[in-house]
Amino acid sequence: MAGSSSAAASLPSEIQAQVLTAFNTPYQLTTLPLPVPVDHDLLLKVGAASYCHTDLVYQSGVMGKILPLIPCHEFAGTIVSAGPLAFSTVPGLSIGTRVGVPGRAYRPCGQCRECKNNGGDPEGYGNTCPKAGNLGITRDGGFAQYALVDARQVAALPDAISEVEAAPLMCAGLTIYAALKRCALPKAGRVGIIGAGGGLGHLGLQFGVKMGLDVVGIDASDEALKLATELDTGASIFDARTTKPEEVLKQISGQTGEGLQEGETGLDAVIILPENQSGFDYGMKLLRNHGICVVLSFPKSGFHISAEDLVFRDIQVVGSLVGKNWVLKEMLQLAAHKNHDNSAMVQMAFQITFGTRVC
């Protein structure tokens, strides 16, 4: 219960936060009252907060209209106080627990279809509830010393993962891991990641391989290809500028293609990360018949999709946004797993993860 612990008793009355007060202007360092948790709320002392491309988009005025706003939808911190329902609803949490926080979903309604059919998350909690808040987008987020979150949206951090490492996993990591899960592939299933050297892609290469998938990474810039290759995941990496999709399929299958009809060979799934038509088309050409294309990017002009691919090749095109709470917990356990040499299973390129190539 809030205020019942020594940690709560020693909390400050005011905090500092980076606040967006007008679009296309810098954040303003602002002193604000300490937030007070109620119901399912947790009050966190923020340990690390990560900057996402979405923060840049919101700051430009394209994405939302809420001002003033504390941005950041991917952060991590320590529980210092809680509302009266928080710990009874999520028994594994307590004062002092370190948690990771994705943006969705804060205070869902508990009554809508999304909340009642939530796919295994806490009862009455839907992370896609249309009435829920989205931290850093529709309500204050993590660019502050302290922040309010919903106990049902967070996940306790494994000891092997620091808050700095956890923060970008709350968006880039969860988004790409959920997309890999959306592919619904068995062990050794073939998946292609278009945009494999970016903020999501470089994590997807590592997650995919550790999930037992046969991963193919595609990118089209020297910097991105260098990162994708140096991770040394065992994934097959190709330069889209110099290697056509047909040649990729020949190299990974070891077949010449003689005697085979188009669509008989190919990947079981592709994940589309770039916001351009050429990247989408490249991915579609890698798919076998009956394959699945999972789209994570959302360019303003959209994508052109061939009806022939849908009808004659039976290609499924689906979207994916973020993962549910149980998916978040599963991802963190996988990320915390050590390799045989005790090195980290998931390496994060912070110069990219904290830059403009994130989500």
Per-residue confidence in pLDDT tens, the chain, 359 aa? 444 444 556 899 999 999 999 999 999 999 999 999 999 999 999 999 999 989 999 999 988 899 999 999 999 999 999 999 999 999 999 999 999 999 999 999 999 999 999 888 988 999 999 999 999 999 999 999 999 999 999 999 999 999 999 999 999 999 999 999 999 999 999 999 999 999 999 999 999 999 999 999 999 999 999 999 999 999 999 999 999 999 999 998 874 455 555 667 899 999 999 999 999 999 999 999 999 999 999 898 999 999 999 999 999 999 998 899 999 999 999 999 865 454 555 676 644 333 333 33
CA 267, CA 227: separation in Å to the nearest integer? 23
Within this chain, do residues 197 and 139 fall inside the same structural domain, yes or no? no
Q: What is the pLDDT of residue 3?
A: 43
Q: What is the pLDDT of residue 337?
A: 83
Within this chain, do residues 35 and 135 fall inside the same structural domain, yes or no? yes
Structure-block tokens of residue 288: 């076998």
Domain presence at residue 329:
no
Domain presence at residue 189:
yes
Domain presence at residue 164:
no
Domain presence at residue 112:
yes
Q: What is the pLDDT of residue 256?
A: 43
Within this chain, do residues 23 and 76 fall inside the same structural domain, yes or no? yes
Within this chain, do residues 73 and 180 fall inside the same structural domain, yes or no? no
Within this chain, do residues 143 and 201 fall inside the same structural domain, yes or no? no
Instruction: Give me Rg for the CA atoms of the chain.
Output: 21
Coil, helix or strand at residue 102:
strand
Within this chain, do residues 225 and 287 fall inside the same structural domain, yes or no? yes
Domain presence at residue 115:
yes
What are the residues whose beta carbons fall under 8 Å from the beta carbon of 193, sequence distance 6 or more? 201, 204, 205, 208, 215, 216, 217, 218, 235, 270, 271, 273
Within this chain, do residues 221 and 289 fall inside the same structural domain, yes or no? yes
Domain presence at residue 148:
yes
Given a contact cutoff of 8 angstroms between Cβ atoms, the answer to whether 124 and 152 are in contact is no
Q: What is the pLDDT of residue 178?
A: 97
- Count up the domains in the chain and report the number: 2
Within this chain, do residues 304 and 278 fall inside the same structural domain, yes or no? yes
| 81-101: pLDDT as tens digits | 999 999 999 999 999 999 999
Within this chain, do residues 25 and 80 fall inside the same structural domain, yes or no? yes
Domain presence at residue 119:
yes
Within this chain, do residues 180 and 273 fall inside the same structural domain, yes or no? yes
Domain presence at residue 74:
yes
Within this chain, do residues 123 and 178 fall inside the same structural domain, yes or no? no
Q: What is the pLDDT of residue 253?
A: 81
CATH number at residue 202: 3.40.50.720
CATH number at residue 12: 3.90.180.10
Within this chain, do residues 146 and 202 fall inside the same structural domain, yes or no? no
Instruction: Find out whether the peptide bond into 108 is cis, omega within 30 degrees of 0.
Output: no
In the chain, where does DSSP find H-type helix? 6-9, 53-59, 86-89, 113-116, 163-168, 174-183, 201-210, 222-230, 245-253, 277-286, 307-311, 325-336, 350-353
Residue 190 sits in which domain range? Answer: 174-319
